[in-house]
Amino acid sequence: MSARRPVSVTLRVEPGSDLPADERAAVLEAVQACRSLQGSLLPVLHAIQDRLSWVPPRAVPLIAFELNLSRAEVHGVLSFYHYFRQTKPGRHVVYLCRAEACQASGAVALEAHAKRRLGVDFHGTSADGRYTLEPVYCLGNCACGPSLMIDKELHAGVTPARFDELVAE
């Protein structure tokens, strides 16, 4: 009788085993919270972004594995929607409205001012890591533009001076 035990060889890398612990936990929590929903991929991506402020591309294999989707399907959805971020943002995200009603109220000048003030173009993060600037196409505040939203806080009638106050806070 041999005392040798069978040797097991892992041929497949467990999806998500290379993720940092917080990202892995966020993905698994998000999947757990949304698994019972029909067509759950968007709710899962929202839940991940709510927790991490972005959806790391390296989490795609784990999301795909957990939802029984292909990585291509998850990447396809993640990259289709403007709101989902594949890069880590600054501490706050400034969503600046570019749409017509805000244009009519001075949004073009505000946009130029915001880019200058933060030293970034759209999708960029200020050098101090505080603000990421994103364009948005309507915040539903069209009678009182120009509008912007910082994280989930909406602001109306934003002049360049008001913008400076908001980002100084």
Partner 1 sequence: MSTTVYVPRDATAVALGAEAVALAIAAEAARRKLDVRVVRNGSRGAFWLEPLVEILTGDGRVAYGPVHASDVASLFESGFLAGQSHDLGHGAVESIPYLHKQERLTMARCGVIDPQSLADYQAHGGYAGLKAALALDGATIVQVVTDSGLRGRGGAAFPTGIKWRTVLDTQAPQKYIVCNADEGDSGTFSDRLLMEGDPLCLIEGMSIAALAVGATRGYIYLRCEYPHAHAALNAALAAARGAGFLGGDVAGSGRAFDIEVRLGAGAYICGEETSLLESLEGKRGQVRFKPPLPAIKGLFDSPTVVNNVITFASVPIVLARGAAYYRDFGTGRSRGTLPVQLAGNIKRGGLVECAFGVTLRTLLEDYGGGTRSGRPIRAVQVGGPLGSYWPESKFDTPLDYEAFTQGGGMLGHGGIVVFDDTVDMAAQARYALEFCAIESCGKCTPCRIGSTRGVEVIDRLRAGDRPAQQEALLRDLCNTLTHGSLCALGGLTPLPVLSALEHFPEDFVKPMAAMAAGS
Question: In the bound complex, what is the minimum distance in angstroms from residue 20's beta carbon to partner 1?
Answer: 24
How near is the Cβ of 73 to partner 1 at its closest, in Å? 8
Residue 28 or 150 having the CB closest to partner 1:
150
| CB closer to partner 1, 37 vs 127 | 37
- CA count, 13 A, side-chain hemisphere, 78: 25
Residue 37 and residue 97: Cα distance in Å, rounded?
32
Report whether 69 contacts 35 (CB < 8 A): no
Select 128 or 151, whichever has its Cβ closest to partner 1.
Answer: 151
Interface positions with partner 1 (CB under 8 A): 37-43, 45-46, 73, 76-77, 80-84, 95, 99-105, 136-145, 147, 149, 152, 154-157
Q: Please, what is the minimum distance in Å from the beta carbon of residue 153 to partner 1?
A: 8
Cβ proximity to partner 1, 13 vs 143, nearer residue: 143
Distance in angstroms (rounded) separating the CA atoms of residues 43 and 46? 5
Structure tokens at 107: 């949004």
Q: What stretch of H or E contains 92?
A: strand 92-97
Q: Least CB distance from residue 64 to partner 1, whole Å?
A: 12
Do the Cβ atoms of 97 and 137 come closer than 8 Å?
yes
